[in-house]
């Protein structure tokens, strides 16, 4: 299965339980618009290079479309379609007035200079500026994109359309960003962890976590869990992992990462591989890197009691079935990682109102949104006797389906 087929597998499983019927099922599964562009730039060397870029707009029945921009060498159209549809379900689970989109550029940013990255970002905006916008489609950071990239997007889009801070979220604080946005996905994961651990009667204090990915999502959730009394026993990034069964000292690991750019080589732990991190003996595993990391091949090696999906699409359907059979509870991406898009929504609201909220307000509203979403999903899971992933899709499909039909097809 490719990435899109995987997302659709989960979607169809829920849609069939709901008996929405084939025509509506097809309508909801199919993206509204798929934009593919060529992004050609002059490299610092004078050479001309062309990179493929995408913006997939999946659904807008509940509001403007929303979703991240990813810069990655293995990004392709199928991956963007899958991620765009996940955004539709995610914004619906969070009950935000948005649809879903996703996009990016197939490139390896580690091989580009800052100036090349800026030229690439601006050229991409030139190519998609007529299909994005504050009331159409609002990009945000994803893998290998950050507040600086968002600032270039805002600036380039504003050259065409006038001052438009609300065209993109995840911007720097100096340029209409929101307090609390940078840590929001990690903070949302923390709030979800608190809810689920309470439900399975596991105290946070002393609970052991393994985290794959130490970027925006992974590093913030590691810090927040550690501050909440949890024990982080293993982490990994693209270069490898580090583990310590007694618990890693997260503040000193942060200093190491700031100095070296990677978790590898951290001296107060033992080196380990990415696969070992996924198979760590712990209470909770948080995949927070890329998709498709938990597969048929390694699902039986997982030793965690719970998996809380920080990344988008980390679990393949085959792995999901194996984990369910083994009684491992999976909190799906479309519920667990709604923190980022939720605070992106708050940023957009602040931009439209020309206001700035204090961080306490952002975090309090985030916590309220997460608790409400978790409660609704958990209640559907209990009443229909289905896994949390199916329950989250049932909630989302119900909301998107009703909006679609009420607007008129």
Q: Write out the residues near ligand NAD by the rule CB under 6 A.
A: 141-144, 185, 212-218, 236-238, 274, 288-290, 310-312, 337, 340
Q: Which DSSP string corresponds to 10-41?
A: HHHHHHHHHT--HHHHHHHHS-SEEEEEEEEE
CB of 48 to ligand NAD, least distance (A): 27
Indicate the residue among 206 and 251 with the shorter CB distance to ligand NAD.
251
Strands 48-59 and 33-42: antiparallel
Q: In what order do the strands lie in the sheet with 231-237?
A: 270-272, 240-243, 231-237, 208-212, 284-287, 306-308, 329-331
CB of 290 to ligand NAD, least distance (A): 5
CA distance 53 to 69: 10
CB of 1 to ligand NAD, least distance (A): 18
- Structure tokens, 85: 């549809």
SS3 call for 168: coil
Q: In what order do the strands lie in the sheet with 33-42?
A: 33-42, 48-59, 99-105, 65-71, 137-141
CB of 387 to ligand NAD, least distance (A): 20
CA distance 222 to 213: 10
CB of 390 to ligand NAD, least distance (A): 20
SS3 call for 171: coil
- Structure tokens, 150: 């968002």
Q: Which DSSP string corresponds to 260-285?
A: HSSSTT-TTSEEE-HHHHHT-SSSEE
- Structure tokens, 166: 């609300």
Listed in order, strand segments (DSSP E) in 179-258 are: 208-212, 231-237, 240-243
Q: Closest-CB residue for ligand NAD?
A: 215
Q: Which DSSP string corresponds to 369-407?
A: HHHHHHHHHHHHHHHHT--HHHHHHHHHHHHHHHHHHHH
Indicate the residue among 25 and 347 with the shorter CB distance to ligand NAD.
347
CB of 32 to ligand NAD, least distance (A): 21
Residues designated catalytic: 102
CB of 212 to ligand NAD, least distance (A): 6
CB of 257 to ligand NAD, least distance (A): 9
Tokens 């955004």 belong to residue: 87
């Amino acid at each position: 299965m490719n990435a899109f087929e995987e997302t659709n597998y989960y979607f169809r499983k829920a849609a069939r339980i709901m008996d929405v019927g084939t025509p509506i099922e097809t309508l909801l599964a199919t993206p509204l618009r798929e934009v593919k562009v060529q992004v050609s730039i002059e490299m610092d060397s004078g050479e001309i290079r062309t990179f493929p870029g995408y913006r997939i707009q999946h659904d807008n029945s509940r509001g403007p479309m929303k979703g991240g921009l990813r810069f990655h060498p293995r990004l392709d159209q199928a991956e963007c379609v899958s991620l765009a549809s996940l955004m539709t379900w995610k914004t619906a689970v969070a009950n935000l007035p948005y649809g879903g989109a996703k996009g990016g550029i197939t490139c390896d940013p580690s091989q580009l200079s800052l100036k090349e990255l800026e030229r690439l970002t601006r050229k991409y905006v030139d190519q998609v500026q007529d299909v994005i916008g504050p009331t159409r489609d609002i990009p945000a950071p994803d893998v290998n994109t950050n507040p600086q990239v968002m600032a270039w997007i805002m600036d380039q889009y504003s050259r065409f359309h006038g001052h438009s801070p609300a065209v993109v979220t995840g911007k720097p604080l100096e340029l209409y960003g929101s307090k609390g946005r940078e840590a929001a996905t990690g903070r949302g994961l923390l709030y979800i962890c608190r809810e689920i651990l309470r439900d399975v009667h596991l105290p946070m204090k002393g609970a052991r976590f393994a985290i794959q990915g130490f970027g925006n999502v992974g590093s913030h959730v590691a810090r927040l869990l550690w501050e909440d009394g949890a024990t982080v026993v293993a982490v990994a990034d693209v270069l490898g992992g580090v583990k310590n069964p007694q618990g890693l000292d997260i503040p000193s690991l942060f200093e190491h990462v700031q100095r070296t750019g990677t978790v590898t080589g951290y001296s107060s732990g033992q080196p380990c591989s990415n696969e070992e991190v996924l198979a760590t003996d712990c209470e909770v595993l948080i995949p927070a890197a890329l998709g498709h990391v938990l597969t048929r091949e390694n699902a039986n090696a997982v030793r965690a009691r719970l998996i809380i999906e920080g990344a988008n699409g980390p679990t393949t359907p085959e792995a999901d079935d194996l984990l369910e059979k083994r009684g491992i509870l999976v909190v799906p991406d479309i519920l667990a990682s709604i923190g980022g898009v939720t605070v992106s929504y708050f940023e957009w609201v602040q931009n439209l109102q020309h206001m700035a909220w204090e961080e306490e307000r952002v975090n309090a509203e985030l916590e309220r949104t997460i608790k409400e979403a978790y409660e609704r999903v958990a209640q559907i899971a209990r009443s229909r006797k289905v896994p949390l992933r199916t329950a989250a899709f049932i909630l989302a499909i119900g909301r998107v389906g009703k909006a679609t039909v009420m607007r008129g097809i």
